[in-house]
Amino acid sequence: MIKKLIVIIVLCTFCSTVCAQEIKLYKAGTTLSLTEDLHCMTNEVALKVSTKLKLLPKECELKISEIRKLSDIEIDTLERKLVLQKKESLSIISEKDKAVDQIQLASIDEISKIESSLWWKIALGVLGGAAVGAGVTVVVMTFME
Amino acid sequence: MISGGRGSALSLIKRTTEIRKEERNNVIDIRRHHIEEEAKIERESNLKKEAVRTKAVARLEAEKTRLRKQQELLKGNSEAINKDLNDVLND
């Protein structure tokens, strides 16, 4: 008899505790209606709910402020990267320009070398031709004699 | 004259190759420098972000502690708790 009584007391206590701490979850978009269920809350649960409700606005405010600051940092980083990218592109272009200039100068230099050596090549050709012609003439005349 | 101008062409090609090689090396240097700078910017940005997150977490924790201390005073006092909850819900 005493055992049964103890079991019933334990069961009742357990049920009341479970019922007291039950918090219903509501679907998003539906209206939250405050019913008598709220009166079933224990002091601890009520305190927790109250703390959570008090904390929520501050938490949201902090989150928004954090996100704003993070986005500012991100924008600043992207701007700095963009400037760096521009600098890099300009440096590469300038390097390419420098190389093209150097190649042009080297080409002009080589062409002018060829042009400056052309006059003595012609002179040498003419003189060589004359000398060979004279030599051939001398040889032919010698054989004819 | 002996080479028939081939020497000039060869020296020009040699010079051009040298110039291109130098240019390629310089471009590689510029790219490497850019990558280093970008990594530096990224590191700085991550540090700043981390600082912001830490600060936000600290502020939230401080707020939680402040509220917890406030709630500690209400503990055991059913009427005060009830009033507090009603105030929050009606706020």
- What average pLDDT does the segment B15-41 reach? 95
Q: SS3 of A32, please?
A: coil
Contact A88 B30 (CB under 8 A): yes
Q: Is the ipTM of this complex over 0.85?
A: no
Residue A22 in domain:
no
Residue A31 in domain:
no
pLDDT score of A43: 80
pLDDT score of A85: 96
Nearest CB to B19; choose among A46, A69, A103: A103
Q: Which two tokens mark A135?
A: 């030599």
| Nearest Cα residue in chain B from A55 | B64
For residue B88, give the nearest of A53, A47, A43 by alpha carbon: A53
Residue A128 in domain:
yes
Contacts of residues A17-23 at CB distance under 8 Å and 24 or more positions apart, as own/partner, are A17/A42, A20/A45, A21/A45, A23/A49
- What average pLDDT does the segment A48-72 reach? 92
Residue A87 in domain:
yes
Is the separation of the CB atoms in B23 and A98 below 8 Å?
A: yes
Residue A110 in domain:
yes
In the numeric block, the tokens 């009606």 are attached to: B90
Chain A CB contacts of B44 under 8 Å are 77
Residue A5 in domain:
no
| Lowest-pLDDT range of A97-106, A113-122, B38-47 | A113-122
CB atoms within 10 A of CB A110: 20
Residue A79 in domain:
yes
Residue A100 in domain:
yes
Contact B12 A106 (CB under 8 A): yes
pLDDT tens sequence across A20-31: 444 455 555 555
Nearest CB to A46; choose among B53, B59, B81: B81
Contact B42 A77 (CB under 8 A): yes
Computed on alpha carbons and rounded to an integer, the radius of gyration of chain B in Å comes to: 36
Domain containing A64 equals 42-144
Chain B CB contacts of A113 under 8 Å are 8
Nearest CB to A91; choose among B30, B63, B89: B30
Nearest CB to B78; choose among A43, A96, A106: A43
Contact B41 A51 (CB under 8 A): no
Give the number of domains in chain A: 1
Instruction: Look at the alpha carbons of A32, A37, A43, A45 in this order and tell me if their dihedral is positive or negative.
Output: negative
